[in-house]
């Protein structure tokens, strides 16, 4: 008769889902900085090397735990190419293209609603903002990138809530070109204009 080996269980069909569930709880309760791969592995009863095998880094684990339907780094990365003076137009265009996509929108709305639940603020302020949004400002060579990209995020979150969650008119049905022309100048000022 073969006895099960002591210690943590090996990877199985539900292991990845268990790790993600443990990671979601940890990120929500402890924030990004307070979460470790070792602690997530312990809660999921797996070896930390298995978490690394499935997700690689803590950054990748965080993004997987958020269940985003698109990797924001792939959307934001190309925005760095081109003149910084027109980056806001490129940004708003890419943002609207992703959010207006009917295949992506339901999952994106789920992520936004989960960010509004208890603990969601830490996922955003300690995870998404410093990992995804602020590095774009650094890559663009902006002065005070943390400050500027936080201002950008405030504008974008307002747009998400008004256009996609609450569906307030005229924003809800505004054509993308009009939306870009309306929002890009304000966002460009946040990125490259004079700030107090």
**pTM for the model:** 0.75
| DSSP result, 57-85 | SHHHHHHHHHT-SS-HHHHHGGGGSS-GG
Mean pLDDT of 138-163: 93
pLDDT digits (tens, 9 = 90+) for 61-75: 887 887 778 888 888
pLDDT digits (tens, 9 = 90+) for 23-62: 888 877 777 788 899 999 999 999 999 999 998 888 888 8
Mean pLDDT of 106-116: 81
Q: Give residue 144's domain range.
A: 72-192
pLDDT digits (tens, 9 = 90+) for 10-26: 556 688 889 988 988 88
Q: Which helix (H) or strand (E) holds 19?
A: helix 15-34
Residue 57 inside a domain? The answer is yes
Do both 58 and 92 map to the same domain?
no
Do both 24 and 116 map to the same domain?
no
Percent of the chain with pLDDT over 70: 92
CATH code of 40's domain: 1.10.10.60
């Amino acid at each position: 008769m073969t006895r099960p080996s002591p210690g943590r269980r090996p990877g199985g069909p539900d292991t990845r889902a268990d790790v993600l569930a443990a990671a979601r709880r940890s990120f929500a309760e402890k924030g990004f900085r307070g979460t470790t791969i070792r602690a997530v592995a312990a809660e999921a009863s797996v070896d930390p090397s298995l978490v690394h095998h499935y997700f690689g880094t803590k950054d990748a684990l965080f993004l997987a735990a958020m269940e985003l339907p698109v990797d924001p780094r792939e959307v934001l990365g190309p925005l760095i190419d081109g003149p910084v003076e027109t980056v806001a137009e490129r940004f708003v265009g890419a943002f609207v293209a992703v959010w207006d996509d009917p295949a992506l929108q339901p999952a994106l709305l789920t992520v936004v609603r989960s960010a509004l639940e208890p603990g969601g603020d830490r996922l955003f302020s300690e995870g998404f903002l410093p990992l995804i949004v602020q590095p774009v400002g650094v890559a663009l060579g902006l002065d005070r990138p943390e400050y500027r990209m936080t201002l950008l995020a405030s504008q974008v979150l307002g747009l998400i809530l008004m256009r996609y969650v609450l569906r307030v008119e005229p924003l809800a049905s505004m054509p993308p070109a009009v939306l870009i022309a309306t929002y890009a100048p304000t966002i460009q000022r946040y990125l490259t204009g004079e700030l107090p």
